[in-house]
Amino acid sequence: MGGSKSSNVHTWSVIRLTILRQLRTNPVRVLVTVTGVAIGVAAFTAIQATNESVLHSFTQAIDLVAGRATLEITGGEAGIDERLLPAVQQIDGVSAAAPIVQTVASVAEQPGEALLLLGVDLFAENPFREYRLAGSDRPPGIEDLLSLDAIFVTTTFAEAHGLRKGGHLTLLVGMRRQRFSIKGLLAPQGPARAFDGNIAILDIAAAQAAFGRIGRLDRIDLVTREQVSPDEIRTRLAKLLPPHLTVQRPDRRGRQVEKMLRAFRLNLTALSAIALLVSLFLVYNAVSLSVLERRRQIGILRSLGLTRGAVAALFAAEGTALGLLGSLLGVGGGLLLGRSLLRGVSQTVSTLYAYLRVDAIQAGPVLLLTALGLGGAGALLASIAPAYAASRIAPKDAMQIGSFERTWIRRSHRILLVGLLLLAAAFLLTRPGPVGGAPLFGYLSLACLIFGVACFTPRLLRLTGTGIHLLCRGRRAPLLTLAAGTLSSQVGRSAVAVAAMMTAVAMLVGLTLMIGSFRRTVELWVEQTIRADLIVSPAARFVKGSDATLSDSFIESAARVPGIAAVDPFIGQRVELMGHEGLLATGDFEVVAHYGRLLFRQGESAAVMRRAKAEDGVIISESLALSRGLTEGDRVSFVLPSGRIELPITGVFYDYSTDGGKVVMDRKLWTRLGGDHGADMVAIYLQPGADEAAVRRQLLAIAGTDSAIALNSNRALKARVLEIFDNAFAVARALELIAIVVGVLGIFNVLWASVLSRQREIGILRSVGATKAQLVRVILGEAGLLGLLAELLGLLAGIALSLILIHVINKQSFGWTIQFQFSWWVVVKSSIIALGAALLAGYLPARQAARLNIPAAVAYEG
């Protein structure tokens, strides 16, 4: 149709006259809005990219290390008896089988640096993995390959640490420092690419000796014949193997990692989504301001024949353009930001979950397009309401000042009602349990809470404005009266900015309270449960994935050291606990009953421990009890090398050391069930008045000269626990800050627009004798009032938010019970930040107001 073509041309010229003109006439707002969106999108992109990189690093490492293996046999931490290997090789359908032992070792004298040690049978490797020696290296001779101290490191690792072929590398493995000699460098190919080169290969016999795992394997990799279905081979293997071993495809492990990290990742994603939300409020606000300022223009265009739809489309396009531009910048910035977050996140994952090494940010096109799309679509969504309002402007209304505001006031009742409904929904959504382990309803409840409270801003703005106005009537506070008057007469333009800032404050308050409560809870728990005077562990243990242990002989000798009253050897092993991975652990219950203390849901520590020991019962962590619906008296079951075991639950204790759930039994029972010897760490209780320094010296002497054991005092251990805790929340704190910055930009936009639209008013004030300083105070007063309201609502929303985080989201994600703790400090802190930020946002607009040319401002009718 000819009509549609001409209307396209028409639309384009209208766009040129409006949107592009906007860039010229209102560059500040365009800049600020785009920046705000960019920051929000950057936060989101950064978190997603970090998450993806972490996951990618794991799955890539698994893939690279698995090589061409089609199936693998794993035995958890209990391991596999190596005598099973020949039988496995014999099975019909298995064309090759390769034994693996692996551990994570720390690099001596380089705290924080670790690598994955892979012990392989170099002669069985060919069907599985390819290793290529770097440069023109001649292949090492047999005696070199098989010597007990031979190791192959990657070129990447060698370069980073200044190592050469023929040089030496000291690692903390097991209880010892071990010196390896580098027999060759591996070019970045196959397994050598895993964990960015932080991997080393050694012969299996040397590895078994070094890791203290003689006769045991961690894994057997299999290549199977294509003609036989993997399921068929699995059934054949199942008949042969003891029950604690699992046969699976290697990529299954990737999915396990994903599952393990899911709650952690979801949490970060939700927080970054809040930052994104704040920036979308900003778009809403910017488009509203633009509609407001151009209502005359709209009226004229409408009377010249522009349709309602076209007006709406125009403003929707403006918002979307701002959003897309911001998203584009945000995606770029997000990748940079992601790079700086990566270290922190990967360190946290390394201390909490599993050893990990990531250097490069991974962001696939899907992620980038998602971030871009979310920013664009979010901006479109955010501009729909103001665009619709613009399309409702009738030609005659547009000439009347304040018709826009009056609509807002009329609508504020309805908005309030919606707000109340959303709050009710937020409350109801806290009731249902998790969906597939994730607190989806909890996150929905958070969203309802934020939007619900946001709905209160128009009403509250008006009430406060009129309230202050009434209070100041006739008092000598003309400036405050003026600021308040503006507040109540400009609800439409301020409400959304206040909502944005409120959201940021809510996030700040919510997270501060949650983290504070959590920290307080952990502190109390640490205070009450860490009773030992000294904790001995292999130095290699500080990275997750190291399974270094202390030997039985060390433990026995330690118990005899003068001054030591008792020792409690602790072992923890990851096993499958009723469907999910958890920790199976053991300690000496008698020692814990006498010297230590756990916090039980019911019953007194010593009594429960002694009863558990007497009845061959176990104690389980509260998180396990919650997630599996277990309670005192129920039975818990799991699989050990000796078969499936079922034991009664004597007690349920609070525990914040792991998020997967924990089952603990007495060491006697453990040994009877065929559990491992040695200990991951030993808690040592001193006799009263014993000389701690002397005991330390003795312990080091027992361990031997090349030992690598760490001795932590009670205080140091407590500090370490809290340090890990604080690191885990560092990223959340960064996101808090980001949200605040975006919120500030919103307030800036409002004040800037307000100053621009009130030139005449400002001119009048100046002409009746207001000094520049007084004017600056009026604008800052307005800024302060906006900030104050955002703070007030944000504080309330934040308290509710922290309750949802504590009682719904964390509880359902991790199973931790956190005691809610209100702190007045959060009120002080958030007030200072909100008010300070608002005043900062008001500074430039105030300066702008003071610079105004009075005659020009008052000359014509505004």
Site size toward other proteins, by CB under 8 A: 33
Handedness of CA 61, 65, 70, 72 (dihedral sign): negative
Two tokens, residue 126: 């060919």
What is the contact mask toward other proteins in residues 359 to 398, using x (rule: CB under 8 A)? ----------------------------------------
Alpha-carbon gap, residue 821 to 401, rounded angstroms: 49
Query: Is residue 486 near other proteins by the rule CB under 8 A?
Result: yes
Q: Which is nearer to other proteins, 303 or 767 (CB)?
A: 767
**Within 10 A of 370 (CB to CB), how many other CB atoms are there?**
15
Alpha-carbon gap, residue 846 to 360, rounded angstroms: 44
Alpha-carbon gap, residue 184 to 134, rounded angstroms: 8
Least CB distance from residue 856 to other proteins, whole Å? 9
Alpha-carbon gap, residue 511 to 177, rounded angstroms: 42
- Which of 296, 772, 829, 847 lies at the binding interface for other proteins (CB under 8 A)? 772
Q: Which is nearer to other proteins, 763 or 784 (CB)?
A: 763
Q: Which is nearer to other proteins, 458 or 465 (CB)?
A: 465
* Residue 645 near residue 673, CB atoms below 8 Å: yes
Least CB distance from residue 769 to other proteins, whole Å? 3
- Which of 156, 351, 489, 573 lies at the binding interface for other proteins (CB under 8 A)? 489
Nearest-CA neighbor of 857 among 749, 754, 771, 767?
A: 767
Alpha-carbon gap, residue 420 to 451, rounded angstroms: 10
Q: Which is nearer to other proteins, 392 or 406 (CB)?
A: 406
Greatest pairwise CA separation for the chain in angstroms: 101
Least CB distance from residue 758 to other proteins, whole Å? 10
Alpha-carbon gap, residue 238 to 251, rounded angstroms: 19
DSSP letter at 595 equals: T
Residue 762: phi and psi, rounded to 5, are: -65, -40
Residue 111's Cβ-side half-sphere holds a number of Cα atoms within 13 Å equal to 1
Stretch that binds other proteins, among 244-252, 513-521, 643-651, 854-862 (CB under 8 A): 854-862
Classify residue 204 as left (phi > 0), alpha (psi -120 to 50) or beta.
alpha
Q: Which is nearer to other proteins, 410 or 476 (CB)?
A: 476
- Which of 2, 3, 474, 689 lies at the binding interface for other proteins (CB under 8 A)? 474
Q: Which is nearer to other proteins, 782 or 791 (CB)?
A: 782
Least CB distance from residue 480 to other proteins, whole Å? 11
Q: Which is nearer to other proteins, 764 or 788 (CB)?
A: 764
Q: Which is nearer to other proteins, 29 or 777 (CB)?
A: 777
Task: Write the CB contacts of 355 (distance below 8 Å, at least 6 apart in sequence).
Answer: 104, 114, 116, 195, 543, 544, 545, 546
Least CB distance from residue 776 to other proteins, whole Å? 12
Q: Which is nearer to other proteins, 53 or 488 (CB)?
A: 488
Nearest-CA neighbor of 702 among 213, 174, 199, 175?
A: 175
Q: Looking at 44-198, which runs of residues are DSSP E strands?
A: 71-74, 80-81, 94-107, 114-120, 150-154, 168-173, 176-186
Q: Which is nearer to other proteins, 100 or 858 (CB)?
A: 858
Query: Is residue 6 near other proteins by the rule CB under 8 A?
Result: no
Task: Write the CB contacts of 448 (distance below 8 Å, at least 6 apart in sequence).
Answer: 422, 423, 425, 426, 429
What is the contact mask toward other proteins in residues 608 to 637, using x (rule: CB under 8 A)? ------------------------------
DSSP letter at 688 equals: T
- Which of 344, 432, 485, 545 lies at the binding interface for other proteins (CB under 8 A)? 485
Nearest-CA neighbor of 356 among 344, 342, 343, 346?
A: 346
Least CB distance from residue 489 to other proteins, whole Å? 5
Radius of gyration of the chain measured on its C-alpha atoms: 33
Q: Which of residues 170-229 bind other proteins (CB under 8 A)?
A: none
Stretch that binds other proteins, among 258-266, 470-478, 575-583, 660-668 (CB under 8 A): 470-478
* Residue 596 near residue 682, CB atoms below 8 Å: no
Q: Which is nearer to other proteins, 61 or 292 (CB)?
A: 292
Q: Which is nearer to other proteins, 1 or 773 (CB)?
A: 773
Least CB distance from residue 390 to other proteins, whole Å? 23
Q: Which is nearer to other proteins, 646 or 861 (CB)?
A: 861
Stretch that binds other proteins, among 167-175, 474-482, 520-528, 577-585 (CB under 8 A): 474-482
Two tokens, residue 607: 């009594």
Residue 358: phi and psi, rounded to 5, are: -130, 135
Task: Specify the residue for token string 């599996």.
Answer: 628
Alpha-carbon gap, residue 358 to 697, rounded angstroms: 38
- Which of 109, 143, 646, 861 lies at the binding interface for other proteins (CB under 8 A)? 861
**SS3 for 59?**
helix
Stretch that binds other proteins, among 387-395, 468-476, 654-662, 724-732 (CB under 8 A): 468-476
Least CB distance from residue 408 to other proteins, whole Å? 16
**SS3 for 565?**
strand
Alpha-carbon gap, residue 74 to 575, rounded angstroms: 11
Q: Which is nearer to other proteins, 360 or 856 (CB)?
A: 856
Least CB distance from residue 627 to other proteins, whole Å? 58
- Which of 332, 478, 545, 563 lies at the binding interface for other proteins (CB under 8 A)? 478
Let me know how long the chain is: 862
CA 795 to chain centre: 23
Nearest-CA neighbor of 295 among 381, 410, 389?
A: 389
Stretch that binds other proteins, among 19-27, 247-255, 811-819, 852-860 (CB under 8 A): 852-860
Q: Which is nearer to other proteins, 411 or 760 (CB)?
A: 760
Query: Is residue 854 near other proteins by the rule CB under 8 A?
Result: yes
Alpha-carbon gap, residue 723 to 111, rounded angstroms: 15
- Which of 166, 214, 476, 629 lies at the binding interface for other proteins (CB under 8 A)? 476
Q: Which is nearer to other proteins, 5 or 473 (CB)?
A: 473
Least CB distance from residue 519 to other proteins, whole Å? 47
Least CB distance from residue 490 to other proteins, whole Å? 9
Stretch that binds other proteins, among 168-176, 478-486, 634-642, 659-667 (CB under 8 A): 478-486
Q: Which of residues 708-767 bind other proteins (CB under 8 A)?
A: 760-761, 763-767
Q: Which is nearer to other proteins, 304 or 768 (CB)?
A: 768
Least CB distance from residue 764 to other proteins, whole Å? 5
Task: Specify the residue for token string 């946002």.
Answer: 841
Residue 853: phi and psi, rounded to 5, are: -85, 115
Nearest-CA neighbor of 826 among 809, 806, 802?
A: 802
Distances (CA, A) of 59 to 249, 258, 338, 401, 710: 13, 9, 19, 61, 32
**Within 10 A of 94 (CB to CB), how many other CB atoms are there?**
20
Residue 817: phi and psi, rounded to 5, are: -95, 120
Q: Which is nearer to other proteins, 142 or 859 (CB)?
A: 859
What is the contact mask toward other proteins in residues 52 to 81, using x (rule: CB under 8 A)? ------------------------------
Q: Which of residues 401-420 bind other proteins (CB under 8 A)?
A: 401
Least CB distance from residue 479 to other proteins, whole Å? 8
Residues binding other proteins (CB under 8 A): 401, 473-478, 481-482, 485-486, 488-489, 760-761, 763-774, 854-855, 858-861
